[in-house]
Amino acid sequence: MICARRLHVAIGAKALLADVSLDVRGGEVVAVVGPNGAGKSTLRKVLCGDLTPSGGEVLMNERALTEWPLIERARSRAVLPQDSSLSFPFTVLEVVLMGRTPHVRGTEEPRDYEIARAALEAVEARHLEERLYPTLSGGERQRVQLARVLAQIWEANGTNEARYLLLDEPTSSLDLAHQHSTLSIARRFAREGVGVLVILHDLNLAAQYADRIVMLRDGRMVASGPPAEVLTREAIQATFSMPVAVMKHPYLDCPLVISLAG
């Protein structure tokens, strides 16, 4: 698992994270929710090694994250940040092949192309493979970037160690159908043993697709557990400062959150 213990991140006197602990186990989807500025993206950066905490530690597969060589880390863990800037006129297929870089020795082999095309198929973007990346819409770019990170951990790396997928707001530019498609892919990879952490703003998407939800506010963990335990009216109103009603979903085995604002 990815195991984070008592993480603390501060800029000057302001704590971006304060005493946050969580686990991401192979085979489950963990959703992180909270208002803007709650520390969600800071947490993701610490978990993937982009940001060193001022306190606490992160272990991946029982080994300190700082002890992992970058190439080994990249073979087991893929990260989709909020923004993936790329202005060069690469084709979509070339962008997705970048996800295979940690596994390539020399030049790409036919298997790398197979995986890249399979990843594009998974995100319903195979028809875009010859398009130039800068010509795509925002939603199309987001799906291509998702395909890139999927290609990175598409198959076990031969060490029998768990793989991880960290997704920071992967549905932000997507239409309704592709939001659900993206999170269905997350569930599919979890069924294959991948540990998935996904940062979401939509509480109902988190309720529907996550095994566990971590709720943050002002850098601190407010609640952690199954959706039905975390997404209570009291916790949501206290965290988001917004009146809501929470009821059992009429068709699915999860809570349904309804805003009462306005």
Q: Where are the domains of the chain?
A: 2-259
Task: Specify the pLDDT at position 69.
Answer: 92
Q: Domain 2-259: give its CATH architecture.
A: 3-Layer(aba) Sandwich (3.40)
pTM over 0.85: yes
**Sequence-distant (≥ 6) Cβ neighbours of residue 155 within 8 angstroms:** 115
The pLDDT value recorded for residue 158 is 64
10: left (phi over 0), alpha (psi -120 to 50) or beta: beta
Q: What gap in Å lies between CA 61 and CA 55, rounded to an integer? A: 20
* Contact partners, residue 251, CB within 8 Å, separation at least 6: none
Helices 138-152 and 176-191 meet at what angle, rounded to 10? 0
Q: What is the mean pLDDT of each run of 10 residues along the chain (262 residues)?
A: 94 90 95 95 93 93 91 93 82 96 91 96 96 93 96 81 92 93 96 96 97 96 96 95 95 95 74
Q: Please tell me the predicted confidence (pLDDT) of residue 77.
A: 94
Q: pLDDT value at position 140?
A: 94
